[in-house]
Structure 1
Amino acid sequence: MPRKAISGATGSLLVDLELADAEELSAKAVLAIKLNELIEKRGLSQTEAASITGMTQPKVSQVRRFKLQNISLERLMQALVSLDQHVEIVVRPARRAHGAGITVAAR
């Protein structure tokens, strides 16, 4: 079956699907991936992760399952800080080729 090219593809599946909050969900997903990596690397239970991050255990469970609709970007950033991470937000003029938008990267 031939593949159909998506005109104007952005490189973000969520944005390409034209979800109303795609950029925010994409940013949350990047932060959640990093948070989950740290929880796994440290061998933390959800209860231990909740205690360290100040989140409730049910919120940690949501992050672990990438159910991010009810978790703010700020909450995810604070959780990363409580796990000894430095979170940096950079604002710069948009490049014409890419336009305005939100990009989040985790190392």
Structure 2
Amino acid sequence: MRTKDSHKGTDNVLTDLGFDDAEELSAKAVLAVKLNEIIEKRGLSQTQAAGITGMTQPKVSQVRQYKLQNISLERLMQALVSLDQQVEIVVRPARRAHGAGITVAA
């Protein structure tokens, strides 16, 4: 009879999958989802979105496809600001149950 390895998962599937930069990728994903929602809601083409955000069209394409490894958190935040969004960063003591980390809410 085979026994299953008991691995307790985390709140972050990317951590569970072994990504070293899981928290950063998760934060980028949340920002990219919001950015893509705004682009869709406004009916912007990638070229139009690039013009407004200051990104190149290929970078906008990467965001649209959630290929976020070569795009910084700062760049995503600046793109949201250029689309008239308020981006807030909050620093507070970590709760003991969750420990230190990065969380983004949009």
State the Cα deviation string for residues 47-67 of structure 1 (Å, max 9, x = none): 000000000000000000000
Letter in 1 for 2:91: V
1:60 aligns to what?
60
Paired positions, count: 103
Equivalent-residue separation in structure 2 for 1:25 and 1:15 (angstroms): 10
What's the RMSD between the two structures over aligned residues? 1.4
1:100 aligned onto 2:100: yes
TM-score normalised by structure 1 residue count: 0.92
Q: Which residue type is aligned with residue 47 of structure 1?
A: T
Residue segments in structure 1 that go unaligned for 5+ positions in a row: none
User: Residue 38 of structure 1: CA displacement?
Assistant: 0.2
Partner of 1:74: 74
Amino acid in structure 2 at the alignment position of 1:101: G
Structure 1 ranges of 4+ moved more than 3 A: 3-6
| Unaligned ranges ≥5, structure 2 | none
Give the match's secondary structure for 2:52. Answer: helix
